C-alpha cells in the first residue's frame, strides 16, 4: 500500500498525539510460547524454534501494511533478533552456512526497520513526558512535527522493505532449509536438544553476569554489550524452557532478565533520543525546537542518574537469580 508522506504534514503533531493514545494494536502478533517435546533432537528443536521466529516475523506484515502503529515494527524486529540469537546459539553444534546467511539477512532487514522503531520510541516519550509540562509551547509541537514527519518516511521505507522480493526470498529460502531437517548425526539423536540446552544456557548465563560486572560504572558501549548479553540469555531460556521441569523457575528467570534488559534498554533509548534530537536540530533549525530540546536534555540527565543509581541493585539481582536447567 503506497501512501503520501506529504498528506500527513499539516496535522503531524496532532496525529502523533492520537497514535500514542491508541493501544493495543489490532492484528499485531507476539512471540509464541514454545513447547518442545521432552526427547526432541537438537535438529528438530532448531527447526521448530527458527520456524517460530519466521512465523512471528511474517505474521506482522499485514499490520504494518494496514497502519503505522508502532507495535508491528517492534514485533518484527523482536522476531528477527530472536532468529539471530537462535542461530548464534546453535552455531557450534549445527554449523550450517545457510543459517549464518539467514542471520546476516535478518540483521540487514532489522536495520532498515530500526529508524521507524527509534522514532516511535522518541515520539512516545515526547508525548508521555513533555505534553503536560509544555502544553501550548510552540517548540514542543515543532519538535513533535519533526519527529512525526520522519516517522512517516521511515514507515514508508519499512513497508518497502517488507514488499521487497529479497525479503520474501529470505523467508522462503530459510523455510526450505528448515523443511530438510532433521538431518543425520549426533544432533539428530533423541534428547540431544536438552543436553545441548544445559550447557548453552549455562554459558549464556555466565556471559551475562560477566558483561554486567560493575554495571553502574560501565561506559555506554559496555552497557550496550551487557544489554545484548541479557537479551541472548533471555531468548535462550525462552527457546528451551519447556525441556525442563522447573517451569515456575524458568518463568521467573526470563521475567527477571527481561526487567534487567528493560532497565538497560531505557538507557539505550536515551542515547538514541540524543542522537535524533541533534539530527533534527541540524536539519530543521535548532531555534525552532530550542525550548523543548532543552527540556528533553534535562529529562535525559535526570533519567541517567536514576538508571545509574539502580544499576547496582540490577547487578545484585542477576547474581541472586536461580537457574532452572540444573
The total domain count for the chain is 2
Do the domain assignments include residue 212? yes
Instruction: Please tell me whether residues 228 and 248 are part of one structural domain.
Output: yes
- Look up residue 204 and give its three cell numbers: 549464556
Tell which wins on pLDDT, 69 or 254: 254
Give the residue, 302 or 240, on which the prediction is more confident: 240
Length, in residues, of the chain: 326
Note whether residue 288 is domain-resident. Answer: yes
Same domain, 171 and 264: no
Would 21 be classed as within a structural domain?
no
**pLDDT value of residue 7:** 37
Residue that terminates a domain, selected from 184, 203, 235:
184
- For the record, the C-alpha cell of 319 comes out as 547474581
Instruction: Give 106-164 pLDDT, tens digit per residue.
Output: 999 999 999 999 999 999 989 988 888 888 889 999 999 999 999 999 999 999 999 99
For residue 194, pLDDT over 90 is answered with yes
Distance between the two ends of the chain, CA-based, in angstroms?
Answer: 50
Across 219-248, average pLDDT? 94
Q: Which residues constitute the domain of residue 236?
A: 191-326
User: What is the model's pLDDT at position 312?
Assistant: 86
Domain boundary pick from 143, 163, 184: 184
Query: Burial, 131: exposed, middle or buried (Cβ in 10 Å; 0-12, 13-18, 19+)?
Result: middle
Supply the CATH number for residue 301's domain.
1.40.20.10
pLDDT tens by residue, 41-63: 999 999 999 999 999 999 999 99
What CA–CA distances, in Å, run from 248 to 56, 58, 119, 217? 24, 30, 36, 33
- At residue 116, the pLDDT reads 95
Q: Read off the pLDDT of each residue in 16-38 and give the average, rounded to a whole number.
A: 74
Q: List, for residues 3-24, the tens digit of each pLDDT value.
A: 333 333 334 555 555 555 444 5
Q: Is residue 164 part of a domain?
A: yes
Tell me if 66 is assigned to some domain: yes
What's residue 300's pLDDT? 84
The sign of the torsion formed by the CA atoms of 45, 47, 48, 50 equals positive
Same structural domain, 210 and 98: no
271 pLDDT higher than 90: no
Same domain, 163 and 216: no
Q: Judge residue 274's burial from the number of C-beta atoms within 10 Å of its C-beta, 0-12 exposed, 13-18 middle, 19 or more buried.
A: middle
Give the DSSP H or E segment for 123: helix 97-130
Q: Are residues 80 and 197 in the same domain?
A: no
Q: Average pLDDT over the chain, rounded to whole?
A: 89
Residues 212 and 301 occupy one common structural domain: yes
Q: Same domain, yes or no, for 177 and 209? A: no
Per the model's pLDDT, the better-predicted residue between 92 and 16 turns out to be 92
Residues 6+ away with beta carbon under 8 Å from 60? 27, 28, 29, 72, 73, 75, 76, 79
Locate cell 508502532: which residue? Answer: 70
pLDDT (average), residues 57-82: 92
Q: Please state, in angstroms and rounded to a whole number, the distance separating the CA atoms of residues 12 and 263.
A: 30
More confident residue, 81 or 135: 81
Q: Is residue 231 pLDDT above 50, yes or no?
A: yes
Helix axes 220-240, 71-94, angle to 10 degrees: 80
**The pLDDT value given to residue 311:** 86
- Please compute the mean of the pLDDT values over residues 200-219 and round it to a whole number: 94
Within this chain, do residues 180 and 50 fall inside the same structural domain, yes or no?
Answer: yes
Q: What angle do CA 45, 234, 303 make, to 5 degrees?
A: 155
Q: Are residues 156 and 261 in the same domain?
A: no
Same structural domain, 166 and 272 = no
Q: Does the pLDDT of residue 308 top 90, yes or no?
A: no
Amino acid at each position: 500500500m503506497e501512501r503520501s508522506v506529504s498528506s500527513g504534514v499539516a496535522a503531524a503533531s496532532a496525529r502523533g498525539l492520537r497514535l500514542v493514545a491508541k493501544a493495543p494494536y489490532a492484528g499485531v502478533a507476539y512471540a509464541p510460547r514454545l513447547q518442545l517435546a521432552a526427547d526432541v533432537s537438537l535438529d528438530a528443536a532448531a527447526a521448530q524454534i527458527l520456524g517460530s521466529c519466521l512465523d512471528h516475523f511474517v505474521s506482522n506484515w499485514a499490520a504494518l501494511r494496514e497502519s503505522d502503529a508502532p507495535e508491528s515494527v517492534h514485533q518484527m524486529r523482536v522476531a528477527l533478533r530472536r532468529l539471530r540469537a537462535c542461530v548464534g546459539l546453535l552455531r557450534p553444534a549445527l554449523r550450517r552456512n545457510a543459517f549464518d546467511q539467514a542471520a546476516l539477512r535478518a540483521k540487514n532487514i532489522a536495520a532498515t526497520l530500526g529508524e521507524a522503531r527509534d522514532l516511535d520510541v522518541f515520539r512516545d516519550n515526547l508525548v508521555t513526558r513533555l505534553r503536560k509540562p509544555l502544553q501550548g509551547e510552540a517548540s514542543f509541537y515543532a519538535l513533535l512535527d519533526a519527529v512525526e514527519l520522519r516517522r512517516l518516511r521511515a514507515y514508508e521505507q519499512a513497508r518497502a522493505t517488507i514488499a521487497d522480493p529479497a525479503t520474501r526470498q529470505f523467508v522462503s529460502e530459510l523455510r526450505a532449509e528448515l523443511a530438510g531437517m532433521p538431518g543425520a548425526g549426533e544432533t539428530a539423536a533423541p534428547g540431544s536438544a536438552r543436553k545441548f540446552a544445559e550447557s548453552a544456557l549455562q554459558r549464556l548465563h555466565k556471559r551475562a553476569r560477566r558483561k554486567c560486572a560493575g554495571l553502574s560504572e560501565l561506559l555506554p558501549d559496555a552497557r550496550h554489550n551487557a544489554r545484548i548479553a541479557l537479551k541472548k540469555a533471555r531468548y535462550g531460556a525462552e527457546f528451551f524452557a519447556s525441556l525442563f521441569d522447573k517451569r515456575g523457575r524458568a518463568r521467573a528467570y526470563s521475567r527477571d532478565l527481561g526487567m534487567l534488559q528493560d532497565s538497560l534498554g531505557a538507557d539505550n533509548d536515551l542515547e538514541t533520543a540524543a542522537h535524533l534530537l541533534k539530527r533534527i536540530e541540524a536539519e530543521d533549525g535548532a531555534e525552532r525546537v530550542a525550548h523543548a530540546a532543552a527540556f528533553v536534555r534535562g529529562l535525559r540527565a535526570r533519567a541517567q542518574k536514576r538508571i545509574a543509581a539502580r544499576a547496582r541493585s540490577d547487578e545484585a539481582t542477576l547474581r541472586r537469580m536461580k537457574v532452572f536447567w540444573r
